[in-house]
Amino acid sequence: MSDYGAQTSTGVRHPTNQDAIGMIPSRGLWVVADGMGGHASGEVASQVARDKVVAEIKHGAELPQSIAAAHQAVLLAAEEVTARRGMGSTVVATQIESRTGAASIAWVGDSRAYLWRAGELRRLTRDHSLVQLLVQQGEISPAEAETHPDRNVLIRCLGFDQPEIDQVKIHLKSGDLLILCTDGLTTEVNDTRMAEIIGRASSPQACANALIETVVGQSGADDATAVVIRYSKPPSSWVPIVAGIAAGLAAFLIWMWMRSQ
């Protein structure tokens, strides 16, 4: 059982929002995609990626296979129209098993997933970007990566080559938040600031709103999107049974007491 909130805004450098949000709450699925490409191609790429992931999950596919299918769908859509050649998209998606709290997160590109638990924010994904590669190689520090001039250069995305899809699996606890977001948010708001905003939010929707409002307040150049999912473990199946037995026992005791009067 999960409740969620979602918010997005168009950056000052774009005429249209090239981010896309998809979800099937009944199947525990949430998807965020960030398109790139000239004219309206970025908008098309993110929508194609989002729609394909959602469609594949509806047909019973696993998350990584759904994203692989989305990559092929973006390639096909680019081939159909000359102006779309070279378009691409990032994607980050989660699927949560409501009964157990088992969550799968899969991604390509630099859209991210975070876990908020017991007042602490933890990044679950690793950007498929040039600066992240430089950090891993020890050539720059994480702090330098935040302001590096090439921080938006991707080394993997849907629509180019054959991108490897990364995946992590975690077990959620009641009250945990999963945050999916595009780099339009994380470029403007670092992890420390994100944690402050999340910690003050009263609900998933209030959290998503506050994160994006912060970007808008800073006149963020890029489109920014945040989806916030709060996991609540459903009551155990034996709880209704115990409650029924207790109610029946209480009724029996009352009946016995009334007979004895």
pLDDT digits (tens, 9 = 90+) for 97-132: 999 999 999 999 999 999 999 999 999 999 999 999
Provide the pLDDT for residue 145: 86
Which residue is it, tokens 């945050």? 179
Tokens representing 1 are: 């059982």
Residues 93 and 98: their CA atoms lie apart, in Å, by 16
Checking DSSP bridges between strand 112-117 and strand 177-181, what pairing results, if any? antiparallel
- DSSP tally for the chain: helices H, then strands E: 8, 10
pLDDT digits (tens, 9 = 90+) for 125-155: 999 999 999 989 999 988 888 888 888 889 9
Mean pLDDT value across residues 50-60: 98
Q: Are 144 and 180 in contact (CB under 8 A)?
A: no
134: burial class by Cβ within 10 Å (0-12, 13-18, 19+)? middle
* Bridge partner list, 23: 30
Give the residue among 21, 4, 2 at the shortest CA–CA distance from 224. Answer: 21
Residue 180 has pLDDT above 50, yes or no: yes
Residues 181 and 39: their CA atoms lie apart, in Å, by 23
Residues 145 and 147: their CA atoms lie apart, in Å, by 6
CA atoms lying within 13 Å on the CB side of residue 228: 26
Mean pLDDT value across residues 39-47: 89
Mean pLDDT value across residues 9-26: 94
Rg (CA), the chain: 22
The pLDDT > 90 percentage for the chain reads: 76
Indicate the range of 7-21, 26-40, 78-92, 238-252 predicted with least confidence: 238-252
How is the chain split into domains, by residue range?
Answer: 2-234
Indicate the range of 4-8, 54-58, 148-152, 196-200 predicted with least confidence: 148-152
Residue 236 has pLDDT above 80, yes or no: no
Residue 50 has pLDDT above 90, yes or no: yes
Provide the pLDDT for residue 227: 98
Residue 246 has pLDDT above 60, yes or no: no
At residue 211, φ and ψ (nearest 5 deg) are: -60, -45
Mean pLDDT value across residues 210-230: 97
At position 233, the amino acid (one-letter code) is K
Provide the pLDDT for residue 151: 82
pTM over 0.85: yes
Four-way CATH pick for 2-234: 3.40.50.150, 3.20.20.70, 3.60.40.10, 1.10.3720.10:
3.60.40.10
